[in-house]
Amino acid sequence: MDLRARMAELAKIGKTEAPVVSVYLDTRWSDEHQRDRVRIFLKNEIAKARDARSRRAAPADLEWIEFAGGELVSQAAAPDARGVALFACESAGLREVLRFRTPFVDSFAVDDTPFLAPLTAAVQQTLATLVAFVDSESARLMHVTREGLGEEVALATDMPGHHSRGEWVLFAQSRYERHIREHRGRHFAAVAESLGQLIEAQGVERIVLAGEPKNVSALRRELPPRIAAHIVGDVSAARHEPSSVIVGRAVELISHLDASGDVPAVDAVLTEAAKSRQAVAGVDETVEAVNRGAVRRLYVLRGVRAPASDCLGCGALFPGVAEECRLCGKALQAIDLGESLVRRVLAAGGTVETVELHQRLAAVGGVAALLRYPL
């Protein structure tokens, strides 16, 4: 599934006969206490949703959430996922379970449209990633998906046979074996060639190297600059360790890098907003750009909360609380600013970057954007 495309489709869901139920769960089951935590959370939130006086969820939607949540807690479904998102709206034909390798903060929302802010943050961590474990005689190339460990291929100087589960696996194996035949004994060079061909064929954006430092260094020396440019770091690993354990370390590294990498990107967009009209910063300017469909990439501070108003007539968005649209005179409804900006940018084909910490961004209201065209 193209997760960005699916997220854009969810963002386009308008007001339906019944509201949408959106649930995010931390499903890292380290012990029974963790399962009880989620079980109690779901029980309490579903009970509150059933007793709600406004924006009342359809009973069938809550029953499905209860069933799907029970399947997760009992580990009858998605036992290896660390985070799960559930969306339900019978009137929109929506019944969706999305599994992730990264956890969510438990949350439960009933609203006219899907709650997508946590999903945008998770998508940032699903760039096409490959973990390359290497030792002196073998290698494992592991594809990291949004759910965790995907397909992998084992490479060795003495290959007993193919055990392919996909075309990219066979492709990588054949490149490695051809190089070994032509250059007997050059194991690290063969791994490098196989890795390079795989990057071009599969559109890999990030590589994490794994293994003992001496073996990782030996592989690095064989990588041409075009491949080395994709490497974001390395983690320690041993041949006897399961691939899922090695990928788990790589995911932790990537999560840390994603959080720390926000600062220079946001600094750049704030600087651009100060000197040109190719970017905007601050609530009023960003809302105006979103209303015009001009946002290419939205930067929003995690947890930013501010009141806003949505026109029931023309659909315009306004900061703050008001009763009447100044454009068409129709009634306005109160909404959350951050979530509305995220949903509108995604629906218009833009991208959203959730920023963990940034003092300058917080000082201007927690939002900024790069534009498709100057305003």
343 touches 11 (CB < 8 A): yes
In terms of Cβ atoms closer than 10 Å to its own Cβ (0-12, 13-18, 19+), residue 244 is: exposed
Q: What is the pLDDT of residues 317-343, one digit of tens each?
A: 999 988 889 889 899 988 889 889 999
Q: What is the pLDDT of residues 129-172, one digit of tens each?
A: 889 999 988 899 988 865 566 778 888 765 444 444 555 566 66
Cα→Cα distances 126→23, 122, 133, 308, 362, Å: 20, 7, 20, 30, 26
Residue 192, helix vs strand vs coil = helix
Question: For residues 374 and 78, what is the distance between their CA atoms, to the nearest angstrom?
Answer: 45
Q: What is the pLDDT of residues 226-243, one digit of tens each?
A: 888 888 899 999 999 999
Q: Is the pTM of this model over 0.85?
A: no
Domains and CATH numbers, the chain: 3-112 (3.30.960), 129-260 (3.30.420.60), 262-371 (3.30.1330.30)
pLDDT score recorded for residue 262: 64
Q: Report the candidate in 98, 113, 152 with the shortest Cα–Cα distance to residue 16.
A: 113
Q: Report the candidate in 198, 222, 199, 365 with the shortest Cα–Cα distance to residue 287.
A: 365
CB neighbourhood size of 359 (10 A): 8
129 touches 231 (CB < 8 A): no
Assess whether pLDDT exceeds 90 at residue 368: yes
Highest averaged pLDDT of the listed ranges 13-17, 25-29, 64-68, 350-354:
64-68
Q: Using alpha carbons only, what angle is made at residue 119 by residues 298 and 319, rounded to the nearest 5 degrees?
A: 45
> Phi first, then psi: what are they for 225, rounded to 5°?
-55, -35
